[in-house]
Amino acid sequence: MPTFSDGQDALPPTMSDFIPQGVPSIGDMRAHLQLLLDNKEKQLQQVGTLGQRILSQQVQLDERVRQLHELEAELGENQDLDSDIRERYRELTEMVKAWDVDNTQLTQSFDPKVCPFHALSSILQKTKSASP
């Protein structure tokens, strides 16, 4: 067995001799990776919820717009019902604004460092506030 110059036996190196102090253990790295996977799962669920919500909103919007177009075609030039159509368009506009608020609130729960939807939400808010 090799010895040091002072005559003491030198022990063969182990893996722990090659890992610098402060480097996490394999268990720590596994726990960190599991945390990352759990966060990704949560993000996927949030994005899925947002996607389902927006798809539902699109279907509702398409249906309401179709109904308005049909009503306009039936009414023709009847001025008496013009105010009714205007009111329905106003209600539809308010509904879409409410959806935008709800969708923005949902996206604010996303982590902006990992999920870009929060940044998209901020851009949409700025665009809305700049529009007439």
- In terms of Cβ atoms closer than 10 Å to its own Cβ (0-12, 13-18, 19+), residue 51 is exposed
Q: Quick check: 13 pLDDT over 70?
A: no
Higher pLDDT: 78 or 16? It is 78
The answer to whether residue 86 is domain-embedded is yes
Top-confidence range, 24-28, 106-110, 116-120: 24-28
Q: Quick check: 113 pLDDT over 60?
A: no
Helical H segments across 20-81, by residue range:
26-75
Q: Residue 9 carries which DSSP code?
A: B
pLDDT of residue 98: 94
The answer to whether residue 113 is domain-embedded is yes
The answer to whether residue 48 is domain-embedded is no
Q: What's the rounded Cα separation, in Å, for the pair 55 and 64? A: 14
Looking at residues 14-43, what average pLDDT do you find?
79
The answer to whether residue 105 is domain-embedded is yes
Q: In terms of residue numbers, what domain contains 70? A: 58-124
Q: Quick check: 130 pLDDT over 60?
A: no
Q: If pLDDT is split at 50, 70 and 90, which confidence band does 115 have?
A: low
The answer to whether residue 36 is domain-embedded is no
The answer to whether residue 62 is domain-embedded is yes
The answer to whether residue 8 is domain-embedded is no
Domain count, the chain: 1
Angle CA(118)–CA(54)–CA(73) in degrees, nearest 5?
135
Higher pLDDT: 121 or 94? It is 94
pLDDT of residue 1: 47
Q: What's the rounded Cα separation, in Å, for the pair 23 and 17? A: 12
Higher pLDDT: 48 or 2? It is 48
The answer to whether residue 132 is domain-embedded is no
Percent above pLDDT 70 for the chain: 62
